[in-house]
Amino acid sequence: MNSYIVKRILVLLPVLLGMTLIVFSIIHAIPGDPAETILGQKATEQSKQALRDQLGLDKPWFHQYFAYLGDLLQGDLGTSIRTKVPIAQEIVPYLTATLELTMASMLFAVIIGVNAGIVSAWKHNSWFDYCCMVIALVGVSMPIFWLGLMEQWLFANKLHWLPSIGRMNARDPVEAITGLYVLDTMIAGRWDQLWTVTKHLILPSVALGTIPMAVIARMTRSSMLEVMSSDYIRTAKAKGLGPFFVVYGHALKNAFIPVLTVIGIQTGSLLGGAVLTETIFAWPGVGRYIYEAISSRDYPVIQSGILIVAFFFVLINLIVDLLYAVFDPRISYK
Amino acid sequence: MRKKWMSSFLTLALSTVLVLSGCSSNEEAGNSPAPAEGTDPPTETAAQDTMIMGRGGDSVALDPAIVTDGESLKIGHQVFDSLLDYKEGETEVVPGLAESWEISADGLKYTFKLKSGVKFHDGTDFNAEAVVFNFNRWSDPASEYKFEGDSFDYYDSMFGPEDGRVIKEVKAIDETTVEFTLNQPQAPFLQNIAMTPFGIASPTAIQEKKENFKSEPVGTGPFVFVEWKRNDSITLEKNPNYWKEGLPKLNKVIVRSIPDNTARFNALQNGEIDVMEDLNPDDLSILEGNSELQKIERPPFNVAYIGFNFKKKPFDDVKVRQALNHAVNKQGIIDAFFAGQAQPAVNPMPPTLWGYNDAIEDYPYDLEKAKALLAEAGFPDGLPDPVTFYAMPVSRPYMPDGKKVAEAIQADFEKIGVTVNIESPEWATYLDDAKAGEKDDLYMLGWTGDNGDPDNFLYTLLDKDAIPGNNRSFYVNEELHVLLTDAQKETDQDKRAELYKQAQVIIKEDAPWIPLVHTTPILAGKANLKGFVPSPLGSESYANAYFE
């Protein structure tokens, strides 16, 4: 298994290298003068020229690419043009914010999605099944923007149950230790803050997790339907096992592999695709970091930001692949 | 064997989570009659001493000298003081760190008497040497305190670039006297000195913190910088030793970035923030219907306009430009897209600014007159080719929704036989294209004044010196150029005002723009927030704000 992991990691290298090349080429194909965008309308022509010189923007793109790659190999992600802060240092809080949000969203999506899928498959063609599938269909097609604003309006403005923006109560700020606030408040033993932080997570995670939830529910349902009709389930039923053990003890394990794939892909896409949610809920995450870099032509941030998201995406895929083997030992490592 | 154990464990763990999730949702449904605690309270009972401000974007850097964006300067205004300041809510210059000043007869020497006993947040003394240190840092391109990637753009644009500095020398005469010698007279000098980018920073802090100074600023201002969570919040605390007696009134200010206007308004209504900037015009009626909130108006100090591209035919013809000026229904646009929070623009600068020429009459909305003028220009059936109209893809205080406004104008132009293609490329490309002047025939832009001087509108936007740059119309009028450059050297304000009035007459006649509107940006705050006076220049001090 160890050699498998090593091989898998080695495969990642050309993937990441290809990624740098693609991102770099696309960014440099965008028209417009980055110096103007970065420095703003009120900047002088001189300082714009100075910036162009400093960034090597006047040099051919492959020159810039190899310079970037060289820095990257030394662990230097570059410096943000806009804020002039090293990206490796700047990106960490954004990344942890997004990780926390993504994990909460996936927890929501997996718990609701898998359960709904199981029950739908179990009560196949019942009213519950139909309802779930209609909800799943609506969930997939729901615009995140609209859903987020509606959540805020209802749960924050009208009912005052939940906070509408940010990661914590600004009047009682959380001390960042790991950057994952749920964890940080526990480490600090601040249970009241843990509760507040958790509540801040609810609305954005539901907004972000709705689409994966719907996708997971549909996948679980179809996968379960297939497994439930197989011989060993019939045997298990014949042995007199209760429906709970049949479903969760026997069927789910085998039905879970395609679901796992979907979970992996969805998690990856959430990492980079959380821009809308992060905008509406003022969540200081990596999606917004990259988005703002794009609108201000902050090349180094766009490149490194996308690269890091891609890296996590690939990492999640790796984890999913390894989990396959755990769920189904027949999957070989060749 | 081990794998089997792991798989059983994972399955068990998963099913436990699944079962628990079912239970917990029941529990919550069962015993949650009251609103949950711990949410930011919707109303405060005791007098509040922390103000949370919600705004659309984060700061780029906290050293105001190296930035040009408004969001950064807003924080700069709290942490730093300049030698001079603007009167609260106005653009008139008042004393700041300098108590008084004298100007030599030839307008080349400014002697400032500084306040004594003022300390920077790090405990070091503010004095004449500190002023000299700051001005040298900004003007010397080889300064060791100009850190990598930094540029002092506002210094360069207000006091001339390296090869043409206005300020020749800054000298400390004694502890509290500093003398500025200029290379040439600069009429708006005092207005410029008062700008936030020229806030005086602690020399010790710059020497110690070096490039970290831009994220850990130290000034003499009413609030002390505490923490910056990027894209999230900036925390400031009261400066207990502030030199203005009894200020600031708040203990703490937290400035949060909430990009979406509607989400920000939601947060205000939910009590998570106390005051917000940039309300959507559409939300105005909700704001006015909520007795717990108040509307705060920023005095109008901007202009939104449509510029003609003189490089393109037939827009080099004044008759065509005047014709199109007649074809825009400004009041209709204001009613439809600005919720009434704007006034029609006649001149390229707002009427609240001194030197505004109110004798000038606008081209009235008159389609017949427009057609007649087009006919005179040789286009009796309207323009033969479709016109490319660049409409802003981003929202700005002077233009919340450029595309909708462009569509309204398109419909009017259609009536006089001018076919319009609206284009809205992404913002960076937009600015580039408009500056190059190759693609657009008409473009939409705007400007918010920096320093309360007409020069900052007329010369900056319409002089031939601003090509390439902010004069994206490529409008050149020698007579205007002479007026505007004379006005820069004239030190008598009445005489300057006269020059600017003449300049506006020329501009109106030449019609390089269709001036559209001067907007009144709307802020919203809790009803018990007092003393919050917005500045027309975009960034105000929060020192006087308090809660009742």
Tens of pLDDT, residue by residue over B519-541, are: 999 999 999 999 999 999 888 99
Q: How near does any CA of chain A get to the CA of B504, in Å?
A: 22
**What tokens appear for A133 in the block?**
């599938």
Q: DSSP characters for A51-74?
A: HHHHHTTTS-HHHHHHHHHHHHHT
Percent of chain A with pLDDT over 90: 16
Which alpha helices (DSSP H) does B383-530 contain, by range? 402-415, 427-436, 455-462, 478-489, 493-510
What value does the mean pLDDT take over residues A90-105? 91
Closest residue by Cα to residue A84 from B60, B473, B394, B443? B60
User: Are the beta carbons of A90 and B40 separated by less than 8 Å?
Assistant: no
The CA distance from B120 to B205, in Å, is 9
Bridge partners of residue B524, in order along the sequence: B276, B295
For chains A and B, CB pairs below 8 A equal 206
Whether the CB-CB separation of B435 and A36 falls below 8 Å is answered with yes
Q: Which residues of chain A does B50 touch, with a Cβ-Cβ cutoff of 8 Å?
A: 171
pLDDT recorded at residue B24: 35
Closest residue by Cα to residue A50 from B63, B59, B156, B209? B156
The CA distance from A50 to A53, in Å, is 5
Q: Which residues of chain A does B11 touch, with a Cβ-Cβ cutoff of 8 Å?
A: 248-249, 252-253, 256
B417-431 in b/e burial notation, b at 16+ Cβ within 10 A?
bbebebbbbbbbbbb
pLDDT recorded at residue B37: 39
Whether the CB-CB separation of B183 and B166 falls below 8 Å is answered with yes
Give residue B229's Cα distance to chain centre. Answer: 22
At B412-448, the pLDDT tens digits run 999 999 999 999 988 778 888 888 888 999 999 999 8
The CA distance from A179 to A103, in Å, is 13
Q: Whole-model pTM?
A: 0.82
Nearest to B429 among A32, A40, A280 (CB): A32
Give residue B371's Cα distance to chain centre. Answer: 38
- Return the half-sphere exposure (C-beta side, CA atoms, 13 A cut-off) of residue B206: 21
Whether the CB-CB separation of B375 and B326 falls below 8 Å is answered with no
User: Are the beta carbons of A115 and B267 separated by less than 8 Å?
Assistant: no
pLDDT recorded at residue A42: 60
At B266-287, the pLDDT tens digits run 999 999 999 999 898 889 999 9
Q: Which residues of chain A does B15 touch, with a Cβ-Cβ cutoff of 8 Å?
A: 248-249, 252
pLDDT recorded at residue A41: 61
User: Are the beta carbons of A159 and B11 separated by less than 8 Å?
Assistant: no
Q: Which residues of chain A does B21 touch, with a Cβ-Cβ cutoff of 8 Å?
A: 111-112, 115
Look over chain A and give the mean of its residue pLDDT values, rounded to a whole number.
83
Peptide bond into B141 cis (omega under 30): no
What value does the mean pLDDT take over residues A152-173? 88
The CA distance from A259 to A245, in Å, is 19
The pair phi, psi for residue B2, each rounded to 5°, is -65, -40
pLDDT recorded at residue B23: 36
ipTM over 0.85: no
Closest residue by Cα to residue B72 from B85, B55, B51? B55
User: Are the beta carbons of B68 and A90 separated by less than 8 Å?
Assistant: no
Q: Which residues of chain A does B269 touch, with a Cβ-Cβ cutoff of 8 Å?
A: 156-157
Q: How near does any CA of chain B get to the CA of A301, in Å?
A: 14
Longest dimension (CA), chain A: 83
The CA distance from B120 to B99, in Å, is 17
Q: DSSP characters for B167-234?
A: EEEEEEEETTEEEEEESS--TTHHHHHTSGGGPPPPHHHHHHHGGGGGGS---SSSEEEEEEETTTEE
3-state secondary structure of B447: strand
What value does the mean pLDDT take over residues A198-208? 93
Give me the residues of chain B with pLDDT under 70, please: 1-46
CB neighbour class for A231 (10 Å; exposed up to 12, middle 13-18, buried from 19)? exposed
Question: Best mutation site among A48, A84, A154 for testing chain B: the one with the most B CBs within 10 Å?
Answer: A84
The CA distance from B194 to A324, in Å, is 66
Q: Which residues of chain B does A84 touch, with a Cβ-Cβ cutoff of 8 Å?
A: 61, 147-150, 211, 214
CB atoms within 10 A of CB B111: 17
CA closest to A249 among chain B residues = B11
Q: Sorting pLDDT into bands at 50, 70 and 90, what band is A81?
A: confident
Nearest to B428 among A164, A169, A297 (CB): A297
pLDDT recorded at residue A310: 83
Nearest to A36 among B232, B273, B432 (CB): B432
Q: Which residues of chain B does A292 touch, with a Cβ-Cβ cutoff of 8 Å?
A: 57-58, 231
Q: Which residues of chain B does A325 touch, with a Cβ-Cβ cutoff of 8 Å?
A: 3
Closest residue by Cα to residue A239 from A223, A250, A254? A250
User: Are the beta carbons of B60 and A83 separated by less than 8 Å?
Assistant: yes
Q: How near does any CA of chain A get to the CA of B42, in Å?
A: 8
The CA distance from A247 to A254, in Å, is 10
User: Are the beta carbons of B267 and A282 separated by less than 8 Å?
Assistant: yes
- Read off the amino acid at residue B196: T
pLDDT recorded at residue B15: 44
Q: Which residues of chain A does B162 touch, with a Cβ-Cβ cutoff of 8 Å?
A: 46
User: Are the beta carbons of B39 and A196 separated by less than 8 Å?
Assistant: yes
More confident residue, A325 or B540: B540
